[in-house]
Structures are given as C-alpha cells and as structure tokens.
Amino acid sequence: MLTLLVIILASYLLGSVPSAFIVGRVQGVYLEQHGSGNAGATNALRVLGTGYGALVFAMDILKGFLATRGLSMIRLGDGIPAWLGSDPNADLWVMVIAGAAAMTGHVFTIIGRYFYGSWRGGKGVATGTGMLLGLIPVAILIAIAIFATVVALTRYVSLGSILATSSIPFTLLIERALGFGVPGPFFAFAVIVPVFILYTHRSNVKRLLNGTESRIGQSKTEPST
C-alpha cells in the first residue's frame, strides 16, 4: 500500500507544479491576477504571448508524461498492494492512477495555493495529453492533430480541446477493430478523460452555445484551458 500512496502523492505534487505561474513570475507577471487567474497554458498564451504559452503547454504535458512513465515505476516495501497486484493489468492500472493524480494536481494545485495564493490550476488538457501520450500515443497524436485543425479553423481553444479529447475513445475503438491491442485500463481511462475535460470546460460550453466564447486573438476574462 505504501508504494501506491507514494506514487499518488508524488504524481499529485508533480501535477501541482503551476508552470504558468512560475513562467509568469520569471517574466515579472503575476499571472494569477490576469486573465482567468488560472495556471493554464491558454491563460499564459493570452497574457504572456505565444512563445511562453507554448512553453507552459510543453511543461504541463511533461508533468503528465513523467507521472505515467516515471513515477508509476516506484516500488517500495511489498510493492503493489495485493488487492491490485492480483490483477494481470496491475502495472497498467498504476500508470493510469499516477496520471490521474497528476491531472488532479494540475487542476487543483496545492503548490499554487501555498506559494502563489491560488488553488486554480489549468483545466487538465495539457497534463491529460501528456499522461495519455504515455499510454496511448497513436490516439493522442490524432487528438493533437484534431485540436490543431479545429483551433486553426475556428480560433476556439475550448472547442478544439473538447473535440480532440472526445475523439480518443473512438480512435481506440478503431484500433481495436483493426486488431491492435488496447489494454482495458487504458481504454477505461480514455473514456473518463473526455468527461473530465468537458466538466472543467462547462463554462466554455455555455459560452460556445450562446455565442459569447472568445477566440484566440480576442481579449477575454477567462481563457479556455
């Protein structure tokens, strides 16, 4: 049990590192006081510019990837608890748990709270992308292509995020139909992630439906991701 607890805590703390706030402070900007006030890549992009927004996005992706492919490998004491270790997919479930903890830390950042005065992280898209990149790379690369296409055509980051993440389960179903193995734990989480992203973007969905969502290049009080 110690192993699992350490993995969850370490992954959560890694996810909690508020990349946007840190980059903002390096540039002399209190990002938590600008735009949406959250530690997301889009807020960084709108306030700090494209280059720094891309840097924050890359840093947030790395958090999810490192939790999934790095911290999930920690083994202490008796290793994986018996109730999970009896599952032939135990190691895969641990990877999923580590990634989920990192995503949670990114959205609700305890480090941001105690060092920057705000619990508000990002909306989970970048860290979720990094996590799933470590689990299902083909589906994620397709999702990234969808995201880039939608944003290029509409300039709605939120719409790109929602459609890209929603495509993941369907891509995995196609992979399975073509005979490619997709482990059950990965598929289960790939279904949960779009629901989580839709929840964190619920205010964006309302604005998209009533036509008040801001596009890239427009000033906005609350960025999309």
Q: Which of 69-73, 125-129, 204-208, 214-218 has the weakest average pLDDT?
A: 214-218
Q: How far is CA 92 from CA 97, 128, 185, in A?
A: 9, 16, 6
d(CA 103, CA 90): 20
d(CA 87, CA 160): 36
Quote the mean pLDDT of the chain: 88
Cβ contact 131:99 at 8 Å: yes
In the DSSP assignment, the letter for residue 86 is T
| Domain ranges (residues) in the chain | 2-210
Residues making up the chain, counted from first to last: 225
Mean pLDDT of 7-23: 96
